[in-house]
Amino acid sequence: MRPNSNSREHFFHNIRSTLGNCHIVEDIIGEGGFGVVAKCRNTDTNKTVAIKINKSEAGILQQAVEEIAILKRLRCLNPDTCNIVRWDGFFFHKENICMTFELLDQSLYHYLQEQHTRGLTMGELKPILHQLATALAHLHSTETVHADLKPVNVMVVNRDQHPIQVKLIDFGLACPVSEVKQGACFGTVWYSAPEMLLGVPFKESFDMWSLGLIMAELILGCHLYPGKTVYDVLRFMVETQGQPPDEVLDQGLYTENYFFKQNNRTPRWRFKSPEDMYYQYGFYASDTRDIKLKSLDEIDLIKSMLNMDASKRIMAREVLQHPFFDPSIPESSSANAGEILAHTENHEGNTSPSMSAASWEERTDSHAQHPAPALSPVSWVEHPQVQQDNEGPLLFILLQCNTARVL
Ligand SMILES: Nc1ncnc2c1ncn2[C@@H]1O[C@H](COP(=O)(O)OP(=O)(O)OP(=O)(O)O)[C@@H](O)[C@H]1O
């Protein structure tokens, strides 16, 4: 029986062996709502490439056309020095649009999962972060927002290479800054900046928020702001960083969904509690437990990316100038970045540094000899989700706005 022309079977039937005139499908390496990414061998050149094969549904075709327009816009950028995936054009296979890219190794998400459940070493973190800031600096120089920056959209070029090289992929939601529509909500809620969640106009600084969250995740080995709904994610943000300024909230198309307007009071807006949400919308917050503060300090670079006010957020090219990347601070530490940052208390309240006292002192001494590092002992909070997962009291960075240090 012939598979229905809209079915998954039909789609896979169409791409089973060859694509276009000269691509042999060797493997399916990615699959999503859009279609699949296949590892293919070009029989003319004998080169192996990644081909993104989009389903032929109307909405997906439209998104593919828009992605191609963005990829064309980015052709002025050198994919190797700008840390952006190389795009070799597109072709049609039956009714499917196929885009050809250089073949990359594995996503940063999988790299983290496979190797570093407890976060990366400082030696690995720095080059990855520098390369992502480089990619964004170039992308933003073309007045384009990626709008879907997250570890699955960052690919490791070759996991055996040292230092690791990464590239930005997936421009399916990217758009010219001038075409950003206020109120548009897309991408992944965990990595979405507050301005998008609140329906405030957004621009390149949106990506900087996502980069801040990626940096925190690379250090911690888990998400900073997980949550099942927009409200949950906003609640994590507000609880740890305070709420965005009134001037930002005033512009949000969706502000009133999550905040009460208070007449003649400062601030003008008050974040709704889980109980407010329940009484108003019959809505259950996914987790109503408090986040417990463990200790407090600061991380300049993360804080400057995670500024609730997008207009005050650091830009990608400024990230590259940040003292965090000062070459006089050793890069090849084998210590876990989270451990270097953490100096925490255990449940009984005893001080229990994640590094030994000796290594902590060593680190502190080296601070005296080098310019002040951007990353000093961190502020941490216990995260309930991690506790639910029985992984013990993992620690989260506290980013309270009122303690943020101006760079
Ligand atoms: N150039 C590449 N080399 C190797 N694998 C790739 C490449 N591009 C994409 N992939 C794999 O295919 C997956 C999906 O690709 P991509 O993110 O471009 O599609 P998408 O439409 O955004 O998918 P999703 O629906 O997950 O957002 C990636 O997460 C990655 O694992």
Q: Which residue's CA is the nearest one to ligand 1's atom 16?
A: 170
Strand ranges (E), 56-121? 87-93, 96-102, 106-107
pLDDT for the residue 17 = 63
CA distance 200 to 202: 6
Secondary structure class of 317 (helix, strand, coil): helix
Q: What is the pLDDT of the chain when averaged over all its residues?
A: 77
Residue 340 CA to residue 119 CA, distance in Å, equals 11
Residue 22 CB-half CA count within 13 A: 10
CB 60, CB 54: distance < 8 Å: yes
Question: Is the distance from the beta carbon of residue 42 to the nearest atom of ligand 1 less than 6 Å?
Answer: no
Let me know the angle formed at the C-alpha of 86 by 84 and 92, rounded to the nearest 5 degrees.
130
pLDDT in tens, 197-208: 999 999 999 999
CB 185 within 8 A of CB 151: no
What's at 4, amino acid-wise?
A: N
The CA distance from 231 to 233, in Å, is: 5
State the catalytic residue, choosing from 27, 80, 148, 309. Answer: 148
DSSP string, 251-274: H-TTHHHHEEE-TT-SSSEEEPPH
Q: Over 60: is that where the pLDDT of 385 sits? A: no
Query: Active-site residue 160, yes or no?
Result: no
Per mean pLDDT, which range of 18-22, 140-144, 155-159 is the poorest? 18-22
Closest atom of ligand 1 relative to the 39 alpha carbon:
4
Residues at the binding site for ATP are: 52
Report the residue among 170, 171, 186, 190 best suited for mutation to probe ligand 1: largest number of ligand atoms under 8 A from its CB: 170
Cα–Cα–Cα angle for 351, 355, 361, nearest 5°?
85
ipTM of the complex: 0.96
The contacts of residue 241 (CB under 8 Å, 6+ apart) are 306, 308, 399, 400, 401
How many angstroms is it from 237 CA to the middle of ligand 1? 28
Give, in words, the CATH class of 18-102.
alpha beta
298 within ligand 1 shell (Cβ under 6 A): no
So what's the pLDDT on residue 216?
86
Parallel/antiparallel/unpaired status of strands 175-176 and 343-345: unpaired
107-371 CATH: 1.10.510.10
Please tell me the predicted confidence (pLDDT) of residue 369.
32
Average pLDDT over residues 301-312: 92
What is the structure's pLDDT at 94?
Answer: 84
As a whole number of angstroms, the distance between CA 300 and CA 21 comes to 53
Residue predicted with more confidence, 18 or 171 = 171
For residue 345, what pLDDT is reported? 29
Smallest CA separation from ligand 1 atom 9, residue: 37
Residue 152: CB within 6 Å of ligand 1? Answer: yes
Is 52 a pocket residue for ligand 1 (Cβ < 6 Å)?
Answer: yes
For ligand 1, what atom is nearest to the CA of residue 35? 21
Tell me the mean pLDDT in the region 72-82. Answer: 97
- CB of 104 within 6 A of ligand 1: the answer is yes
Per-domain residue ranges for the chain?
18-102, 107-371
Q: Tens digits of per-residue pLDDT, 93-120? A: 888 899 999 999 999 999 998 875 677 8
C-beta 111 within 6 A of ligand 1: no
Least confident of 17-31, 47-61, 68-82: 17-31
pLDDT at 279: 87
Protein residue with its CA nearest to atom 29 in ligand 1 = 152
pLDDT given for residue 145 in this prediction: 97
Q: Model pTM? A: 0.80
